Amino acid sequence: MIDPFGVADDPTMPFLARALDPHEAQRQFEGRLPRLSRGKGRVQIRAIRVTRYKPGRRCLIEYDVEVGEPNAPLQTVVGKGRAKGLDTSSYEVVEALWNSGFTSDSEDAVSVPQPIGVIPEFQMWFQHKVPGVAATRLLGDAGGVALARRIAEAIHKLHQARIPAHRRHTMADEVRILHERLSLVAQMQPQWAQRLGHLLVSCDRLRASVPDSSPCGIHRDFYPDHVIVDGPRLYLLDFDLYCEGDRGLDVGNFLGHLLEQSLRMFGDRTVLSDRAEALEERFVELSGDGTRAAVRAYTTLTLVRHIYLSTQFAERSPFTEKVLELSEDLLAAEPHS
């Protein structure tokens, strides 16, 4: 067992100690995850690793398992645990997508990880770990433009799947969250309070200028780390925020992350602009020109959100003012003093 974060001792998530106990995990896997063995007999856990952990909130644990005969090739299963209870909604979305043409052998090479089942005692649901690398690492490479177009096709497929959602997120919700988050930044950096106020006024105006569109099921947290690239195949990950909303949000969120990445990593907002343009154009081609205004609005609102996000990570905080300046440029906010 590898527990570098001390997860097993978290008093806010006592179920994790059970999930990290090899004997208990073995017992639960055998009783709760029949889809894992698929009639091949025994399932033997060979290793357990904590790979992501937010104290008091959520945890990601990987299990290396041997299915069938001894010395069979190891498979890796990912368990997603949540402090506030078993997240059946995300599991149901992934399962519905898997059953709607997102299997690992789909002809269009757009997939989700295969869902395996849930273990209520661990407050976890499980899926197979997929091969490949995050799109974040590949978009800057020589094939980045072609990859961007493929990502547009992948998110369009998700929107067309029409998987029901249990909640809705609007642009008004997005701007409301910005008001909440930027007020915190103003408290941390009072010298920017006036600039942030002007910026929020501009965000309100932007929201009012974008017409409402027909909602559909959207990812809502779509950015390069949530796309895994395995040769020609793309896997879409992490549907924790899946909801009904404007399809332009997903692409705008992705493009806003590209802008921030360009600024932080290269000091130049234009470095990945050809990738961003390719993604936007391919998506608009598939979804209709009426989606362009929402894509661009959500791109800007996502960048504004990064003003706050940059304050939450030590390695990003030196770039907060640069993100603020670029947000002002995009919104043509009132000049700051």
User: What pLDDT band is residue 333 in, cutting at 50, 70 and 90?
Assistant: low
d(CA 59, CA 124): 9
Q: Do residues 324 and 193 lie in contact, with contact meaning Cβ atoms separated by under 8 Å?
A: no
How many CB atoms neighbour CB 192 within 10 A?
Answer: 18
CATH code for the domain defined by 134-331: 3.90.1200.10
pLDDT computed for residue 336 by the predictor: 45
User: What pLDDT band is residue 37 in, cutting at 50, 70 and 90?
Assistant: confident
Burial of 41 from C-beta contacts in 10 A (0-12 / 13-18 / 19+) = exposed
User: What pLDDT band is residue 101 in, cutting at 50, 70 and 90?
Assistant: very high
What are the structure tokens assigned to 41, written together?
Answer: 């007999």
d(CA 29, CA 16): 15
Q: Residues of the chain with pLDDT > 90: what percent?
A: 87
**pLDDT tens-digit series, residues 231-277:** 999 999 999 999 999 999 999 999 999 999 999 988 899 999 999 99
Does 334 have pLDDT greater than 80? no
Mean pLDDT taken over the chain: 94
Does 43 have pLDDT greater than 90? no
pLDDT computed for residue 332 by the predictor: 86
Does 192 have pLDDT greater than 70? yes
The amino acid present at 301, given as its one-letter code, is L
**Which among 10, 20, 88 is positioned nearest to 56, based on CA atoms?**
10
Q: Residues of the chain with pLDDT > 70: what percent?
A: 98
- Return the exposure string of 280-306: e unless at least 16 CB atoms fall within 10 Å of the residue's CB, then b: bebbbebbeeebbebbbbbbbbbbbbb
